[in-house]
Amino acid sequence: MDNNELINKIKELKEKKNAVIVAHNYQRPEIQDIADFTGDSLELSRKCAAAKENMIVFCGVKFMAETAKILSPQKKVLLPKIDAGCQLADSITPAEVDEYRKNYPDAVIVGYVNTTAEVKAKLDYCVTSANAVDIVKKINSKKIVFLPDKNLGLWVKKNIPEKEIIIHNGRCYVHHKFLKEDVLNARKFHPDAVILAHPECSPEVLTLSDVIASTSGMIKYVKESSAKKFILATEEGIIHRLQKERPDAEFYSLGNAQICFNMKLIKLIDVYNSLEKEVVEINLSDEIIHKAKLPIDRMVAL
């Protein structure tokens, strides 16, 4: 089957099975193009919960599909490639969260949405890269344990110096590869460009960038900006979406384009197989769903 045939088959199957396809902003261009919605991790989970369809094909990584399942337990959530993980999410275990709780009994434990369902089940609050600073500011505690991303934690700490923030030592290998020298070179060769960085980048890169935002924040910024040239310190897949939103503008990756290999695992054939065979279904116990939803609900309520 060539790509056009595959795309037609996917559309047919999607109708037949009453399914919705969602894709993260870092997915392959052809996957973004067949999706009903593209967006950031939490945005997509919310779209899934609001969708009328009862089958969801989640084109992203496992923690994202799990978050969709937590928010839509009655729906069938499929991840076309079950080995699409996230090294950052895997950098913290439930046992390590228990350790933090034991060692810092008076702290509130805040975890990034990039965590497994089992870890979420042990958090007090969940945050996203878009709202981490706001949520931690609003939490009624001076002492916070922040996990798992060190760079995002340091960004939160920089913005809220009045709080004591204990930060786990996890990192996204994709974002941590951007260097201060890359930003300095970009400034030299593209002085007219706006440099946007994801808060998973190192503090040195964030300090020198113009805009610090989640992937959805970057898209919003670019759509509203009158600038014509943008440099992105995030996974290169976002450029496909940005170019569609602003065909009049130029987009470049900062330094060497960085790729999240897990985000590129899903191909059109996998979406087709996923719909046809209804695989791989995300199954979580009722207890984990109930417990993991609490920190998300608390985040939404703040």
Which spans of this chain sit near ligand 13P (rule: CB under 6 A)? Answer: 25, 40-41, 114, 128-129, 172, 198, 200, 214-215
SS3 content of the chain, % helix, strand, coil (to 5): 45, 15, 35
Shortest gap between Cβ of 239 and ligand 13P (angstroms)? Answer: 14
Cis peptide before 280 (omega within 30 of 0): yes
Q: Which amino acid is at 254?
A: L
Backbone φ and ψ of 54, nearest 5°: -105, 10
- H helices of the chain, where? 3-17, 29-34, 41-50, 62-71, 94-103, 117-120, 132-138, 150-159, 180-189, 203-208, 215-224, 238-245, 268-277, 286-301
Nearer to ligand SF4, 63 or 272 (CB): 63
Site for ligand SF4 contains 22 (CB under 6 A):
no
Shortest gap between Cβ of 234 and ligand SF4 (angstroms)? Answer: 8
Binding segment (CB under 6 A) for ligand SF4, from list 71-79, 118-126, 155-163, 256-264: 256-264
Shortest gap between Cβ of 245 and ligand 13P (angstroms)? Answer: 15
- Near ligand SF4 in 262-281, by CB under 6 A: 262-263
Cα–Cα distance measured from residue 246 to residue 132, given in angstroms and rounded to the nearest whole number: 27
Which of the listed partners (ligand 13P, ligand SF4, none) does 115 bind, with a CB threshold of 5 to 8 Å by partner kind?
none
Which of the listed partners (ligand SF4, ligand 13P, none) does 233 bind, with a CB threshold of 5 to 8 Å by partner kind?
none
Backbone φ and ψ of 71, nearest 5°: -85, -15
Q: What is the DSSP letter of 203?
A: H
Is there a contact between 111 and 119 (Cβ–Cβ < 8 Å)? yes
- Near ligand SF4 in 56-85, by CB under 6 A: 61
Which one, of 4, 2, 3, 6, lies nearest residue 276 by Cα?
6
Site for ligand SF4 contains 31 (CB under 6 A):
no
Shortest gap between Cβ of 79 and ligand 13P (angstroms)? Answer: 15
Site for ligand SF4 contains 172 (CB under 6 A):
yes
- Near ligand SF4 in 93-122, by CB under 6 A: 114
Site for ligand SF4 contains 174 (CB under 6 A):
yes
Which of the listed partners (ligand 13P, ligand SF4, none) does 40 bind, with a CB threshold of 5 to 8 Å by partner kind?
ligand 13P
Residues of this chain that bind ligand SF4 (CB under 6 A): 61, 86-88, 114, 172, 174, 235, 260, 262-263
